């Protein structure tokens, strides 16, 4: 065994036995422990947040809001007029969202949401933004070539349909209200919520399937 | 691929099913940022502006257009904002990072890692 190999073996041995975290993980640990000591953060808050957003929240809240709007015209009117207040009616824990506007798809309008600056996103009702939403490619192309982006997601938009792109900010985020699929007149709110996908509420999906939550 | 345009945008759709967090620290960064916004340590606008600056910096450095780059930028934004606010200085953070690294290296496998502030 050469000395290079033996030192490499020693290095691997050390890594295996110490589990030194990655550089960003170390920095996060350092930051969290300092913030907790300064009373700026409760580590239980961080743990609970991570658990909730990794396991639970996802887009279910948003889907529920959409299904309610489909089945209850009075609710839809309140949602379009003042989305945060209408969403608060559900009583989601943790103050669902303070600055939100709902934009409605129709036969002649398709809405697409982006954040060109960073990754502003209504995560309290849609969960963590998908990775593509955070890419520089999406942030640039959604504005420059929305129809091209939509085509990439398998969404063909006819020329008669206007595509509106909404640029989210820290002060105003957007939720797309997709169209209710045909043939779902007999479904109740819960069944309808199961048809609503995350992408349909961002706008990278247009037609929802009456059968599953998958792209039609 | 059907042409250069599909090539350019193809990766977006391919990312659709990816898990949003590869590693726990990525979720912890967002959790800390949200908690600090909620308690008013900084405003949502300060957060998005600083994150936007970090993302532009990453783009200029030709970092890969991936989730990891985004979370690295979020961590950098959090560090910079807290340093600027005087809440956690860059120096204090660097010292603490080194302290944790020493603690990990000094702790035998299987035992809880404890920070030795000495």
Pairing state between β A173-177 and A162-167: unpaired
Tell me how close the Cα of A24 comes to any Cα of chain B, in angstroms: 7
Q: What is the pLDDT of residues A170-203, one digit of tens each?
A: 889 999 999 999 999 999 999 999 999 999 999 9
Q: What is the mean pLDDT of chain A?
A: 89
Closest CA to A127 of B81, B52, B40, B19: B19
Higher pLDDT among residues A19 and A59, named by residue: A59
> What's the rounded Cα separation, in Å, for the pair B34 and A129?
14
Distance from CA of A31 to the nearest CA of B (A): 6
Query: Is A120 noted as a catalytic residue in this protein?
Result: yes
- Please state the rounded mean pLDDT for residues B89-95: 96
CB–CB of A108/A162 below 8 Å?
A: yes
Q: What are the tens digits of pLDDT across the range B35-67?
A: 999 999 999 999 999 999 999 999 999 999 999
Q: Which residue of B has its CA nearest to A151?
A: B6
Task: Go through A137-171 and write b for each residue having 16 or more CB atoms within 10 A of its CB, e for each that does not.
Answer: bbbebbeeebeebbbbbebeeeeebebbbbebbbe
Helix (H) or strand (E) holding A173: strand A173-177
Across the interface, whether the CB atoms of A24 and B52 are under 8 A apart is answered no
CB contact under 8 A, A20 and B104: yes
* Bigger pLDDT: B98 vs A98: B98
Question: What phi and psi, each to the nearest 5 degrees, are found at residue B85?
Answer: -80, -10
Lowest mean pLDDT segment, chosen from A160-164, B10-14, B28-32, B54-58: B10-14
d(CA A119, CA A136): 10
Chain B partners of A33 at a C-beta cutoff of 8 Å?
96, 100, 115
Known active-site residue A7? no
Pinpoint the residues of chain A covered by CATH 3.90.330.10.
59-202
Quick check: A136 and B67 CB within 8 A?
A: no
**With bands split at pLDDT 50, 70 and 90, how would you rate the model's confidence at A99?**
confident
- Nearest residue, CB atoms, A28 vs list B59, B75, B99: B75
Token pair 């659709």 is found at B16
- Distance (Å, rounded) from C-alpha A86 to C-alpha B79? 36
Q: How far apart are CA B96 and CA A61, in angstroms?
A: 39
Q: Is A98 a catalytic residue?
A: no
Residue of A120, A124, A168, A200 marked active site: A120
> Do residue B16 and residue A199 have CB atoms under 8 angstroms apart?
yes
Interface of A with B in 55-84 (CB under 8 A): none
* Helices A43-51 and A23-37, packing angle to 10 deg: 130
Of the candidates A85, A79, A124, the residue with the CA atom closest to the CA atom of residue A103: A79
List of long-range contacts for A203-206, beta carbons under 8 Å, 24+ apart? A203/A105, A203/A110, A203/A111, A203/A112, A203/A113, A203/A150, A203/A176, A204/A112, A204/A149, A204/A150, A204/A153, A204/A155, A205/A153, A205/A155, A205/A178, A206/A105, A206/A110, A206/A150, A206/A155, A206/A157, A206/A178, A206/A179
What is A59-202's CATH number? Answer: 3.90.330.10
B90 shares contact with chain A (CB less than 8 Å):
no
Q: What is the pLDDT of residue A101?
A: 95
Q: How confident is the model at residue A94 (pLDDT cuts 50, 70, 90)?
A: low
Gap from B81 CA to chain A (nearest CA, Å): 12
Q: Which residues of B touch A38 (CB under 8 A)?
A: 87-88
Instruction: Spot the catalytic one: A6, A115, A124, A216.
Output: A115
Q: How far is B109 from chain A (nearest CA, A)?
A: 5
Structure ipTM over 0.85, yes or no: yes
**pLDDT for A38-50, tens place per residue?**
999 998 999 999 9
A12 — pLDDT class (breaks 50, 70, 90)? low
Kindly tell me if the per-residue pLDDT of B2 is higher than 60: no
The pTM score is 0.86
Indicate the SS3 state at residue A165.
Answer: strand
Among the partner-chain residues A42, A149, A170, the one whose CB lies closest to the CB of B9 is: A149
Band of residue B21 on the pLDDT scale cut at 50, 70, 90: very high
Q: Measured on CA atoms in the order A154, A105, A70, A180, is the torsion positive or negative?
A: negative
């Amino acid at each position: 065994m050469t000395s290079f190999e033996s030192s490499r073996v020693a290095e691997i041995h050390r890594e295996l036995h110490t589990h030194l975290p990655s550089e960003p993980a170390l920095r996060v640990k350092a930051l969290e422990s300092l913030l907790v000591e300064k009373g700026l953060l409760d580590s239980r808050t961080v743990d609970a947040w991570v658990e909730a957003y990794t396991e639970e929240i996802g887009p279910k809240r948003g889907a529920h809001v959409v299904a309610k709007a489909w089945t209850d015209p009075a609710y839809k009117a309140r949602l379009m007029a003042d989305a945060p207040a209408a969403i608060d009616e559900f009583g989601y824990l943790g103050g669902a969202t303070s600055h939100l506007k709902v934009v409605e798809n129709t036969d002649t309008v398709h809405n697409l949401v982006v954040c060109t600056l960073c990754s502003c996103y209504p995560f309290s009702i849609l969960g963590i933004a998908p990775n593509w939403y955070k890419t520089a490619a999406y942030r640039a192309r959604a504005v420059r070539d929305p129809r091209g982006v939509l085509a990439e997601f398998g969404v063909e938009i006819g020329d008669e349909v206007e595509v509106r792109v909404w640029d989210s900010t820290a002060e105003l985020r957007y939720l797309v209200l997709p169209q209710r699929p045909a043939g779902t007149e007999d479904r109740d709110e819960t069944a309808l919520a199961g048809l609503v996908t995350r992408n349909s509420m961002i706008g990278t999906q247009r037609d929802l399937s009456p059968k599953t939550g998958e792209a039609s | 691929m059907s042409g250069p345009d599909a090539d350019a945008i193809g990766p977006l759709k391919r990312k659709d099913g990816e898990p949003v967090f590869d590693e726990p620290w990525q979720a912890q960064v967002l959790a800390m940022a949200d908690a600090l916004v909620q308690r008013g340590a900084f405003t949502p606008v300060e957060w998005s502006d600083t994150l936007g600056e970090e993302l532009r910096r990453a783009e200029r450095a030709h970092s890969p257009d991936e989730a990891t780059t985004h979370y690295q930028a979020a961590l950098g934004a959090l560090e910079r904002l807290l340093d600027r606010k005087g809440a956690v200085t860059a120096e204090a953070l660097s010292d603490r990072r080194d302290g944790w690294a020493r603690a990990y290296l000094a702790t035998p496998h299987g035992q809880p890692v404890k920070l030795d502030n000495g």
